[in-house]
């Protein structure tokens, strides 16, 4: 009984339709720079540049940390709304994740 309840809660908490989106960092830019997602989706940022970058939300909702050349990080978008982000090393690198 208890196991069934726990399983039911797990299924409820992790919808099967959560999607992963890919953003490439190349040429000091995010590709794409504007990403539309559903709340609960994940985004994988991959750094294809030779220098280190980050993807850091201005509202603190996500942060890849420092990504060296060839590294990637997956972040989860948990809140609805627009989340502007930037590279914390290069202020000119900007983008926006919009979640609904
Ligand atoms: Cu950068």
| Ligand 1 centroid from CA 19, angstroms | 25
| Ligand 1 centroid from CA 91, angstroms | 7
Tell me the CA distances in angstroms from 64 to 8, 27, 56, one per residue in order: 31, 18, 6
| pLDDT mean over 67-80 | 98
CA neighbor of 97 nearest in space, from 73, 78, 72: 78
Residues 31, 49: contact at Cβ < 8 Å?
no
| Ligand 1 centroid from CA 20, angstroms | 22
Domains present along the chain, CATH in parentheses: 17-99 (2.60.40.420)
How far apart, in whole angstroms, are the C-alpha atoms of residue 83 and residue 58?
7
| DSSP structure class, residue 53 | B
The pLDDT score that the predictor gives to residue 4 is 63
CA neighbor of 20 nearest in space, from 34, 49, 40, 6: 40
- For the stretch 24-59, pLDDT in tens is 999 999 999 999 999 999 999 999 999 999 999 999
> Does the pLDDT at position 9 exceed 60?
no
pTM: 0.83
The pLDDT score that the predictor gives to residue 12 is 60
């Amino acid at each position: 009984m208890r196991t069934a309840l726990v399983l039911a809660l797990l299924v409820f908490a992790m919808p099967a339709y959560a999607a992963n989106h890919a953003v490439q960092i190349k040429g000091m830019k995010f590709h794409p720079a504007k990403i539309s997602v559903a709340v609960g989706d994940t985004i994988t940022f991959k750094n294809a540049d030779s220098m280190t970058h980050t993807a850091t939300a201005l509202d603190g909702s996500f942060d890849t940390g420092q990504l060296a050349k060839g590294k990637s990080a997956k972040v989860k978008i948990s809140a609805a709304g627009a989340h502007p982000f930037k590279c914390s090393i290069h202020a000119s690198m900007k983008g926006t994740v919009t979640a609904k």
